[in-house]
Amino acid sequence: MTRVNLITGFLGSGKTTTLRHLLASKPEGEKWAVLVNEFGEIGIDGALLAESGAVLKEIPGGCMCCVNGLPMQVGLNTLLKQVKPDRLLIEPTGLGHPKQILEMLTADVYQPWIDLRATLCLLDPRQLADPKVVANENFRDQLAAADVIVASKADRWDDACRSALQQWQQQAGGDRPLLSVQHGAVDIALLDTPRRNLQPLPQPEHHHPHAAPRSPLAGMKLDAAARWRRALNQGQGYFAAGWVFDGDTVFDTIGLLEWARLAPVSRVKGVLRIAEGAVSINRQGNDFHIETRAAEPLDSRIELIHEQQADWNTLQTALLKLRLHSGA
């Protein structure tokens, strides 16, 4: 049987960073797989996790429960029957609701295949001060469904964050484990925590369908003659724009980082080719993390998410001007 963990958390809570840390701690000789879902169609996490050594399946373009759960079922079945991993980590989009995923994983048909362990929910305590986030039913139900709460980005907290986290724990944490981490450094032993939280979750009330991705199991690819493409998506009160560029496109490093830092949106995530090699970009609000990458990606990808419609055309024009080797 494959040991399975759900890794949840709202937008920008640190799920991908945590996944990278867990995958780096994988025991030698074990085969791990990751089923990852993103809000936009571009598919950034696949590039971020490409060097992990795990088998990866992407479901871009919305939450896993869209389209009657078919993309989720196809990806899950493929991994369980073809890859047969020792452990499977599932990362839903930060705007996804956990109810349908947990119902699928506990269905009778999967019992011979799956040993469902603890659900870990990443919580950046600073989000507790954002009324829009706290009012989001997915945010609330992700926390309610968790067996373990992982309070992330501890190096960024102030006294107000600590107080808000303590108050939340007293009101809603119950007797569930709550640990504080920074840089995604979650102890791999937590993955074998038993699943004990069996409380029923409410049916999502405001589930808005997302644009269906062209392919349900992979990030967007370029057509043969295309040098770049843009994809737009919206749902759950959020809007996204993403771009993918071919492998010959190289960006001006300083200009790209400034573009990402100053873009008037709440979320920026990407892996792109630059003159020095490649860089990953991860910005949530004013938190801005960049990291050079040892292996150059096959292409360049970047996605922006915001709570309102942004001027995607103006942002795109500025981004295109940063190409050093761009072709058409």
CA 256 to CA 241: how far, in whole Å?
16
The region of weakest confidence among 52-61, 113-122, 136-145, 288-297 is 52-61
Query: Contact 38/93 with Cβ under 8 angstroms?
Result: yes
Per-residue confidence band for 205, with pLDDT thresholds at 50, 70 and 90: low
Q: Which amino acid is at 170?
A: Q
Q: What is the pLDDT of residue 62?
A: 61
Place of tokens 């107000």: 160
Cβ-based neighbour number of residue 90 at 10 Å: 24
Q: Which domains does the chain have, with CATH numbers?
A: 2-192 (3.40.50.300), 228-325 (3.30.1220.10)
> pTM for the full model?
0.88
Q: Does 210 score more than 50 pLDDT?
A: no
CA 127 to CA 120: how far, in whole Å?
17
Per-residue pLDDT averaged across 137-156, rounded?
A: 94
Per-residue pLDDT averaged across 293-314, rounded?
A: 91
Q: Does 328 score more than 90 pLDDT?
A: no
**Strand partners of residue 267:** 284, 305
| Token code pair at residue 327 | 């072709």
Q: Does 158 score more than 50 pLDDT?
A: yes
CA 39 to CA 95: how far, in whole Å?
7
The helix/strand/coil state of 232 is strand
Q: What is the pLDDT of residue 64?
A: 60
More confident residue, 230 or 96: 230
CA 149 to CA 235: how far, in whole Å?
26
Residues 6+ apart with CB under 8 A from 167: none
- How many angstroms from the chain centroid is the CA of residue 136? 17
Region at 191 (left for phi over 0; alpha for psi -120 to 50; beta for the rest): alpha
Q: What is the pLDDT of residue 211?
A: 45
Q: Which amino acid is at 38?
A: E
CA 74 to CA 61: how far, in whole Å?
15
What proportions of the chain, in percent to the nearest 5, are helix, strand and coil? 30, 25, 40
Strands (E), 124-227: 148-151, 178-180
The region of weakest confidence among 68-72, 136-140, 263-267 is 68-72
CA 183 to CA 185: how far, in whole Å?
6
pLDDT tens per residue, range 240-258 = 999 999 999 999 999 999 9
Top-confidence range, 92-101, 196-205, 256-265: 256-265
Q: What is the pLDDT of residue 212?
A: 45
pLDDT tens per residue, range 176-190 = 999 999 999 999 999
pLDDT tens per residue, range 58-114 = 887 665 655 446 778 888 999 999 999 999 999 988 888 888 889 889 999 999 999
Q: Does 208 score more than 50 pLDDT?
A: no
